[in-house]
């Protein structure tokens, strides 16, 4: 799959959804993935019995970092800064520009020069308090606290590297600004060159880690395969798994979420072997499984990872949404305003979901954005940023979608309901429109301004969507220093886990603070780099 590399959420927000050449839809890290089937695992905490292949080559280093994304680069930075020598980064992506870390659009932090410049005094302590309360203490609080405290330093590092940043708006209406938007293209390439020139870090791409190398209960590296099929034992005194999760592994997704389609809005390198490698080494798989849900447009399996289809944005308009039976199942404003931290989670509890528009609304959208169509509600910041542009080619877009089979058109509600097999849709629309007329959502409490009547004259258009996500959260347990832990909480010497595959750092659902996926990835990578440098002394 070819993924555009010069696109970002920032460009999308600046230009609106229609014609969004600058749109970015990616997860956050590169992966150490494999296209091969994951090896059989024993119960977490037991030593794996995987039969390793005979290596064609052995490569030794002091510190081995598996994954060249957000966590991996920051780990190499801190390890090098601490004086560690002979640092090697391997990744299965073909280049530094090809991984998801390169396409991260922004990252969270407070107490930075950017927040201070607007006179904001929200502190890292307040941010931690908010996040740990949101997570209900289901994470390692000491690890989270340290990573939150490191967030401002992440911004300082990007400033040091000359990577352009600007402070984004409070899109999720949390009461303070903290997302720092990247303005520099191919920032990971800048980072790579800095690491090579300053600390002598070496990089090997198209090299796919597959198994843990263990000696006397200590992790001494990984076995990997390069693009030519050569089996290589990468041996090191300390090894970091920073592989970016398993959003591109349908089998692993099915184990967690069941028989449903989750569209991966990401590169193809995130197959989850960072999790299984840790399990091979004896690490315990934590119970938290989350997704960094796509927060700027909906997804449908008919299109897959699609960056330019404006009809996908309709999923997040905040109008009536129904499940595969035609029943309403959520407060749709959550999907319109907090798609990562709440609304997106609701879509994981239905087989698929549908939005519906009348011809009157469709005609209006050719002249103005949906935000204006419903009266420009000031509280809906995401709507103002993302859905304020008209769609002059809407008729063509609709016909193409109808031809592909993910949009249905009919003269009546009953007609589109029959086409999609939504037996409850007519009754749902009738009840919803009654609430809209009364100005009160008595079912889920949606704001009256978002209660737009549906049945106001045909024809009607029904849009079919699937959940979409940039990345997964969750993996094996670590301690507060990112060291991998067994089921009995003993440390696996030599093995560290950072980023979204750290099973002790992320909550489900996503924290209600934008940019924390990347922020915690950067911070945990730095933390791992610091402690690996100390460990190998």
- What 3 state SS string does 135-175 have? CCCCCCHHHHHHHHHHHHHHHHHHHHCCCCEEECCCCCCCC
Question: Confidence class of residue 49 from pLDDT cuts 50, 70 and 90?
Answer: low
Question: Would you call 111 helix, strand, or coil by DSSP?
Answer: coil
517/460 Cα distance (integer angstroms) = 38
pLDDT value at 36 more than 80: no
Q: Are residues 505 and 377 in the same domain?
A: no
Q: Are residues 233 and 93 in the same domain?
A: yes
Domain that holds residue 352: 300-466
**154-170 b/e with 16+ CB inside 10 Å = b?**
bbebbeeeebebebbee
Question: Confidence class of residue 347 from pLDDT cuts 50, 70 and 90?
Answer: very high
Average pLDDT over residues 479-508: 98
pLDDT of residue 296: 82
Q: pLDDT digits over 354-366, tens only?
A: 999 999 999 999 9
Q: Does residue 2 form part of some domain? A: no
Whichever domain contains 252, its CATH number is 3.50.50.60
Q: How many CB atoms lie within 10 A of CB 11?
A: 18
Q: Token pair for residue 439? A: 């100005």
CA distances from 237 to 232, 290, 521 (A): 16, 31, 22
pLDDT of residue 266: 84
Average pLDDT over residues 283-303: 92
Average pLDDT over residues 170-175: 88
pLDDT value at 20 more than 60: no
**Count of helices and strands (H, E) across the chain:** 17, 18
Percent of the chain with pLDDT over 70: 91
State which H helix or E strand residue 108 sits in: strand 106-108
Least confident of 256-270, 315-329, 422-436, 450-464: 256-270
Average pLDDT over residues 101-107: 90
pLDDT value at 23 more than 80: no
Q: Are residues 221 and 85 in the same domain?
A: yes
CA distance from start to end of the chain: 42
Where on the phi/psi map is residue 445: left (φ > 0), alpha (ψ -120 to 50), or beta? left
Instruction: With beta carbons less than 8 A apart as the criterion, state whether 285 and 359 touch.
Output: no
Q: How many CB atoms lie within 10 A of CB 144?
A: 25
Q: Are residues 328 and 418 in the same domain?
A: yes
Average pLDDT over residues 479-487: 99
Mean pLDDT of the chain: 90
pLDDT of residue 8: 41
Question: Confidence class of residue 515 from pLDDT cuts 50, 70 and 90?
Answer: very high
pLDDT value at 442 more than 50: yes
Q: Are residues 30 and 131 in the same domain?
A: yes
Q: Give the CA dihedral 472, 475, 481, 484, nearest 10 degrees.
A: -150
Average pLDDT over residues 120-148: 97
Instruction: With beta carbons less than 8 A apart as the criterion, state whether 185 and 96 touch.
Output: no
Q: Which residues fall within 8 angstroms of residue 202, CB to CB, at 6 or more apart?
A: 61, 87, 88, 89, 196
Average pLDDT over residues 116-131: 97
Domain boundary among 466, 486, 518: 466
266/292 Cα distance (integer angstroms) = 11
pLDDT value at 30 more than 60: no
Q: Does residue 1 form part of some domain? A: no
Q: Are residues 335 and 459 in the same domain?
A: yes
Give the CA count within 13 Å in the CB-facing half-sphere of 406: 21
288/245 Cα distance (integer angstroms) = 13
pLDDT of residue 44: 39
Whichever domain contains 442, its CATH number is 3.90.700.10
Q: Are residues 441 and 478 in the same domain?
A: no
Question: Confidence class of residue 228 from pLDDT cuts 50, 70 and 90?
Answer: very high
225/235 Cα distance (integer angstroms) = 14
* Tokens 């528009």 found at: 357
Average pLDDT over residues 147-168: 98
Q: Does residue 3 form part of some domain? A: no
Instruction: With beta carbons less than 8 A apart as the criterion, state whether 267 and 68 touch.
Output: no
pLDDT of residue 171: 85
């Amino acid at each position: 799959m070819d993924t555009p590399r010069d696109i970002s959420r920032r460009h999308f927000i600046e230009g609106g959804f229609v014609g969004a050449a600058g749109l970015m839809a990616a997860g956050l890290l590169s992966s150490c993935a494999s296209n091969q089937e994951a090896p059989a695992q024993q119960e977490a905490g037991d030593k794996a019995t995987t039969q390793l292949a005979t290596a064609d080559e052995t490569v030794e280093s002091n510190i081995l970092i598996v994954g060249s994304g957000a966590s991996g680069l920051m780990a190499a930075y801190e390890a090098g800064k601490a004086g560690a020598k002979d640092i090697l980064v391997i990744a299965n992506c073909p280049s530094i520009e090809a991984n998801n870390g390169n396409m991260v659009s922004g990252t969270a932090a407070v107490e930075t020069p950017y927040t201070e410049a607007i006179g904001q005094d929200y502190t890292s302590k307040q941010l931690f308090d908010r996040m740990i309360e949101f997570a209900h203490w289901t994470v390692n609080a000491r690890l989270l606290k340290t990573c939150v405290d490191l967030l401002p330093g992440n911004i300082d590092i990007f400033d040091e590297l000359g990577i352009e940043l600007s402070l984004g708006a409070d899109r999720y209406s949390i009461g303070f600004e903290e997302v720092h938007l990247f303005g520099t293209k191919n920032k990971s390439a800048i980072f790579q060159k800095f690491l090579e020139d300053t600390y002598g870090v070496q990089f090997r791409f198209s090299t796919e880690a597959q198994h843990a190398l263990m000696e006397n209960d200590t992790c001494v590296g990984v076995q990997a395969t390069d693009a030519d099929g050569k089996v290589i034992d990468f041996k090191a005194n300390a090894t970091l798994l920073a592989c970016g999760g398993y959003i591109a592994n349908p089998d692993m997704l099915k184990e967690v979420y069941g028989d449903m389609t989750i569209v991966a809005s990401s590169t193809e390198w995130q197959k989850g072997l960072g999790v299984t490698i840790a399990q091979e080494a004896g690490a315990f798989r934590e119970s938290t499984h989350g997704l960094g849900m796509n927060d700027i447009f909906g997804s449908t399996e008919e299109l897959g990872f699609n960056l330019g289809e404006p009809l996908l944005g309709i999923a997040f308009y905040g109008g009536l949404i129904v499940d595969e039976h035609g029943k309403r199942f959520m407060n749709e404003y959550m999907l319109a305003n907090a798609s990562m931290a709440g609304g997106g989670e609701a879509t994981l509890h239905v087989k698929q979901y549908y939005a519906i528009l009348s011809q009157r609304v469709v005609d209006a959208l050719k002249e103005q954005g949906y935000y204006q169509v419903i009266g420009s509600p000031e509280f809906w910041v995401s709507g103002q940023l993302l859905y304020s542009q008209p769609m002059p080619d809407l008729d063509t877009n609709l016909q193409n979608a109808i031809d592909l089979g993910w949009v249905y058109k009919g003269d009546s509600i009953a007609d589109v309901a029959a086409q999609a097999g939504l037996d409850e849709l007519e009754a749902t629309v009738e009840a919803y429109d009654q609430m809209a007329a009364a100005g009160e959502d008595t079912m889920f409490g949606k704001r009256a301004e978002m209660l737009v009547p549906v049945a106001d004259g045909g024809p009607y258009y029904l849009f079919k969507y699937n959940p979409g996500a940039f990345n997964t959260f969750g993996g094996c347990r670590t301690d507060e220093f990112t060291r991998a832990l067994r089921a009995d909480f003993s440390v696996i010497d030599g093995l560290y886990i950072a980023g979204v595959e750290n099973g002790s750092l992320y909550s489900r659902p996503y924290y209600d603070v934008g940019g924390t996926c990347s922020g915690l990835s950067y911070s945990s990578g730095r933390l791992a780099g610091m402690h690996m440098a100390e460990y190998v002394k």
